[in-house]
Structure 1
Amino acid sequence: MSEPEETAAADTADTRPSGRVAIVTGGGTGIGRACALALSEAGWQMVVCGRRRELLDEVAEQCTSEVVAVTVDVSAPEQVDALFAAATDRFGRVDLLFNNAGMGTRPVPVDELPIADWMATVGVNLTGSWLCARAAFAQMKRQRPSGGRIINNGSVSAQTPRPHSSPYTATKHAITGLTKALSLEGRDHGITVGQIDIGNAESPLTAPMATGVPQADGSIRAEPLMDVDDVARAVLYMAELPADTNVLTMTVMANGMPLVGRG
């Protein structure tokens, strides 16, 4: 695979900025974009990454802090290593990883879903999150001062599945296990790990929910959506907690969506 491509929102080749530094994966659209903009507004310097160059450049241009855009496939180990090298080359350290990159599959019965779709979803949602966390641990251990924070994007599917969603649901349940294991492992190194489970944040991916999506009882019903900026505020809250405080798991969801109980 080719090496990640990099652009910067500002020309600072001769300077080494100081301050809080974040990496946001899947930062070109939806939740990742909203969180990148919120972090930038709060003064975070950032590397925003994803697969689509033009979308990343648009996000970088809208940020008010220094932001580097890097094209990355998080399921490729060598590209993840290059991503973190780009971050440390530019900013000198990494204080926050928002493990946001993810994908789903077509809502079809499990026996009709191509195996390649399963492999791709596991590659991005689970392996990609693990690879990025692995690289973050290595960097956060060796930097001075050491430590940092990782926020994994889980999903309400980490709690309750939707019909015909076995690859996505399985990976999001696995993210919960990953979060807990890494939270335990990070204690001795000042690395704090938490998870945010998001339900029905308005974005291009959730647009069909406004008109109708399959329910567990076989019906098709519209579901409420929430402003993606409310998710960004929640992520920013988690990101800016002091090092001795952690939100291990947070659920932020559109009020009225069919998650809590019947109807």
Structure 2
Amino acid sequence: MPKTAIVTGASSGIGRESAIALCKAGWNVVLAARREDALNETAALCGSAEKCLVVVGSVADEAFVKTLFSKTVARFGRVDLLFNNAGSNAPALPLEDMTLEMFQNVISVNLVGSFLCAREAVKAFKSQTPIGGRIINNGSLSAHTPRPNSAPYTTSKHAIAGLSKSIALDGRAFDITCTQLDIGNAETPLTARMHMGVLQPDGRRMAESTFDVAHVGEAVVHIAGLPADVAVPQFTIMASKAPFLGRG
């Protein structure tokens, strides 16, 4: 039987590309995000109505997340992969100008949403036969080194590192693996600004290299297709000329 993946943030960018790649690799794919029209576009690009399920809502909403997983199991019978990809960011502001609402919004989506989805995935993984499954959490280069004026986003991504390690440890006895997928400068609408120049730690603005987001989809398919006795705790994929290794 085809395996089943849930991809959050599937309405565009990395989520859309990963969903398309999984579907082409033979997976059933559940597409989750807040914009129904964009999700329907992703489903059309996947090219198989039978293999796709669109579920609209926010991962920061606990009731929605529970519904997401119940609809997935009702449609496809089980869950084999969760790609925790939904994300939010705040304006690039000095810490003293950041509002509590800005900070909490990023934490709610990036961290709390990932926790809620992971929790429901683990419940499904433990209750199905055969047991087990795989979680891929979208981390970031910012899970290791921040950009200037990025406290909410950087905080959320550092927390994803702890969440991923905990899932991997606690899931070990149940054939549950977890990967922190750290992506740097994949070409999406969100990275278009990088060609115009982005703020560097030394105060300069510098154009940064990007890479084809299709390679992220290929990486997700590769990790997802590994057997249960193979774990990939961390996977970094980035533009080869991105200044990450020299950041700061």
| TM beyond 0.5 | yes
Q: Shorter-chain TM-score: which interval? A: over 0.9
Provide the residue aligned with 1:81 in structure 2.
66
SS at the partner of 1:73?
Answer: coil
SS at the partner of 1:260?
Answer: helix
- Equivalent of 2:189, from 189, 200, 204? 204
Task: After TM superposition, list the pairs within 5 Å mapping 1:176-255 onto structure 2.
Answer: 176-255=161-240
> Which moved further from structure 2: 163-172 or 229-238?
229-238
How many residue pairs get aligned? The number is 246
Task: After TM superposition, list the pairs within 5 Å mapping 1:118-133 onto structure 2.
Answer: 118-133=103-118
Rounded Cα–Cα distance in structure 1 between residues aligned with 2:227 and 2:88: 31
Amino acid aligned to 1:129? S
Rounded Cα–Cα distance in structure 1 between residues aligned with 2:129 and 2:47: 26
Query: Displacement, 1:64?
Result: 3.3
Q: 2:13 matched to 1:56?
A: no
Q: Deviations over 1:135-158 (max 9, x none)?
A: 000011001111100000000000
SS at the partner of 2:2?
Answer: coil
Q: 2:151 matched to 1:166?
A: yes
Unmatched 5+ stretches in structure 1:
1-17
Aligned-residue identity in percent = 50
Provide the residue aligned with 2:131 in structure 1.
146
Q: Deviations over 1:74-130 (max 9, x none)?
A: 001111000001100100100000000011110011111121011110000000000
TM-score by length of 2: 0.97
Provide the residue aligned with 1:42 in structure 2.
25
Rounded Cα–Cα distance in structure 2 between residues aligned with 1:211 and 1:64: 34
Rounded Cα–Cα distance in structure 2 between residues aligned with 1:260 and 1:238: 24
SS at the partner of 1:146?
Answer: coil
Q: 2:2 matched to 1:19?
A: yes
Q: 2:32 matched to 1:32?
A: no
SS at the partner of 2:137?
Answer: strand
TM-score by length of 1: 0.92
SS at the partner of 1:138?
Answer: helix
Query: Displacement, 1:262?
Result: 6.2
Rounded Cα–Cα distance in structure 1 between residues aligned with 2:218 and 2:87: 20
Amino acid aligned to 1:258? P
Q: Deviations over 1:196-226 (max 9, x none)?
A: 1000001111110011010000011100010
1:262/1:249 CA distance change after superposition, 3 Å:
closer
Query: Displacement, 1:234?
Result: 1.0
Q: Say if 2:143 and 2:158, in contact at 8 Å, map to a contact too.
A: yes
Rounded Cα–Cα distance in structure 1 between residues aligned with 2:202 and 2:22: 40
Query: Displacement, 1:230?
Result: 0.8
Q: 2:82 matched to 1:117?
A: no
Q: 2:246 matched to 1:257?
A: no
